[in-house]
Amino acid sequence: MKKLVTGFPFWFFVVFLAMVVYATHVSADELAAPAAAPAAPAVDTGDTAWVLVSSAMVLLMTPGLAFFYGGLVRRKNVLSILMQCFMMICLVSLQWVLFGYSLCFGPDVNGIIGNLDWVGLRSVGASPNPDYAATIPHQAFMIFQAMFAIITPALILGAFAERMRFSAFCLFSFLWATLVYDPVCHWVWGVGGFLRTAGALDFAGGTVVHINAGIAALAAALVLGKRIGYPHAISPPHSLPFAVLGAGLLWFGWFGFNAGSALGAGALATNAFVVTHVAAAAAGFTWALLDWMFNARPTLLGMITGAVAGLVAITPAAGFVNTIGSIWIGIGAAVFCYLMVAFAKVKLGYDDSLDAFGVHGIGGIWGALATGLFATQAVNPAGANGLFYGNAAQVWIQLKAVLVTTVYSFVVSYILLKLVDVLVGLRAAEQDERIGLDLTQHREAGYTLLE
């Protein structure tokens, strides 16, 4: 007899419903208001408008990433990439409002994690939370942060593209968002988080988003192993125009990502906007010239890869460095990521299919350290001075945040991948991988041959 339902999605749905029931139950009781509640700060309409627009722009980065990655894979796998990105939007959004936001930003537990007071967005409402953003509704901050939680695990999929089972992808992504992203986000950005308390600077997520995802990508590439036929029998990118479209959307969305992280519409957001743009331009330009020098021709794929590397590197620094600093950060991003992708990856022999580690991991680490070099309080009095402005200690603080994130992300990601492998099997069957994930995992085809 034919099975009524497939086992994995059934149990996944049961767990999801259980979480919804729990959140419904918890959020029925309002939290007691603090004894002497201070007068609620006023909401600024300009700030709120900018943060809401920024949230939409950051959301658009995930479909942008889908096209960036989707263009780089083979025809038979393009839908699997788009599907994984859209699944991430749906899955993490729900995880976020049910309990992810509470784990990241809820009341602190020993500097390690938020507690569950804000499950189901209990007490996350219209009035501002001055700890995070004093001039916008708390829910505006919450939904802005939701977009970061979505794109971070989506970045990882570049490392395991074209060979992971979809059920394994769903389970891993859900566990990673909960057990890696949420704690690291709390350490760096949550009130009471231990890296925030230590003074680490991460304006828009260089550590939380890019190093975190980039290192997890390295773990994924190592645990899953190479694609069949890598490196010699892998066809070139099936649609570079798609990849360029995706890179363009990423660049556009990144203004929301970085300038939006000012959480207000003012001078700081403007600085972040300008340095974000300049760093991307410097890195794209540099990469094209490096290609030209080493391979005799400048390539389009190189140029957009460079631009993305520059955007990654400026992310932690956007609110702390000036324009000249951002040019150096962009140049450094192109040089370091180029060395990784063009030379080191070949020597090391792992298959980071779309260079998620090479660009986001390396670019993120460079950006975090460069923040410790180029940061200046002339840009942001709430920040700190870096090495070039007389404060060598900041580099050490940045390095510590990088090391802690790297070790935690690698170890936990590695364990989660092994766990998922035992539970549902990480890799698609060999025959499925040869046929392509679109047909075997989704029963769909990206392109038809006949009309």
Partner 1 sequence: MKYIVAVIQPDRLDEVLDRLTEREIHLVTVSNILGRGRQKGISEVYRSHKEAGSLLKKVKLEIAVNEAFVKPTIDAIMGGARTGQIGDGKIFVLDLPECIRIRTGETGGIAIG
Closer residue to partner 1, CB minimum distance, 108 or 355: 355
Member of 297, 347, 349, 390 binding partner 1 (CB under 8 A): 297
Member of 10, 13, 294, 396 binding partner 1 (CB under 8 A): 294
Q: Is residue 299 within the footprint of partner 1 (CB under 8 A)?
A: yes
Stretch of 49-57, 294-302, 415-423, 441-449 contacting partner 1, by CB under 8 A: 294-302
Question: Least CB distance from residue 140 to partner 1, whole Å?
Answer: 38
Stretch of 30-38, 338-346, 367-375, 381-389 contacting partner 1, by CB under 8 A: 338-346
List the structure tokens of 270.
């403007």
List the structure tokens of 49.
């408008």
Q: Is residue 179 within the footprint of partner 1 (CB under 8 A)?
A: no
Member of 199, 237, 248, 266 binding partner 1 (CB under 8 A): 237
> How far, in Å, CA of 249 to CA of 243, rounded?
10
- In the region spanning residues 207 to 236, those forming contacts with partner 1, defined by CB under 8 A, are 231, 236
Question: Least CB distance from residue 68 to partner 1, whole Å?
Answer: 13
> How far, in Å, CA of 162 to CA of 68, rounded?
14
Closer residue to partner 1, CB minimum distance, 295 or 323: 295
Member of 342, 399, 415, 424 binding partner 1 (CB under 8 A): 342
Burial grade of 417 (CB within 10 A; 0-12, 13-18, 19 or more)? buried
Closer residue to partner 1, CB minimum distance, 3 or 297: 297
> How far, in Å, CA of 217 to CA of 345, rounded?
13
User: With contact defined as beta carbons under 8 Å apart, do 246 and 443 qualify?
Assistant: no
Which amino acid type is present at position 20?
Answer: V
Burial grade of 430 (CB within 10 A; 0-12, 13-18, 19 or more)? exposed
Member of 44, 162, 182, 291 binding partner 1 (CB under 8 A): 291
Q: Is residue 341 within the footprint of partner 1 (CB under 8 A)?
A: yes
Q: Is residue 450 within the footprint of partner 1 (CB under 8 A)?
A: no
Stretch of 62-70, 153-161, 177-185, 292-300 contacting partner 1, by CB under 8 A: 292-300
Q: Is residue 244 within the footprint of partner 1 (CB under 8 A)?
A: no
> How far, in Å, CA of 177 to CA of 208, rounded?
11
Q: Is 376 left (phi over 0), alpha (psi -120 to 50) or beta?
A: beta
User: With contact defined as beta carbons under 8 Å apart, do 177 and 235 qualify?
Assistant: no
Closer residue to partner 1, CB minimum distance, 197 or 295: 295
The tokens 């190093």 sit on which residue? 211
Q: Which of 159, 209, 218 is nearest to 185 (CA)?
A: 209
Closer residue to partner 1, CB minimum distance, 191 or 289: 289
Q: Is residue 351 within the footprint of partner 1 (CB under 8 A)?
A: no
Q: Return the sign of the alpha-carbon dihedral for residues 134, 42, 379, 211.
A: positive
Closer residue to partner 1, CB minimum distance, 7 or 231: 231
> How far, in Å, CA of 414 to CA of 421, rounded?
11
Q: Is residue 346 within the footprint of partner 1 (CB under 8 A)?
A: yes
- In the region spanning residues 90 to 109, those forming contacts with partner 1, defined by CB under 8 A, are none
Member of 24, 45, 270, 295 binding partner 1 (CB under 8 A): 295
Cα torsion 309, 314, 315, 316 to 10°: value is 130
User: With contact defined as beta carbons under 8 Å apart, do 119 and 179 qualify?
Assistant: no
The site for partner 1 (CB under 8 A) is made up of: 231, 236-237, 291, 294-295, 297, 299, 301-302, 305, 338, 341-343, 346, 355
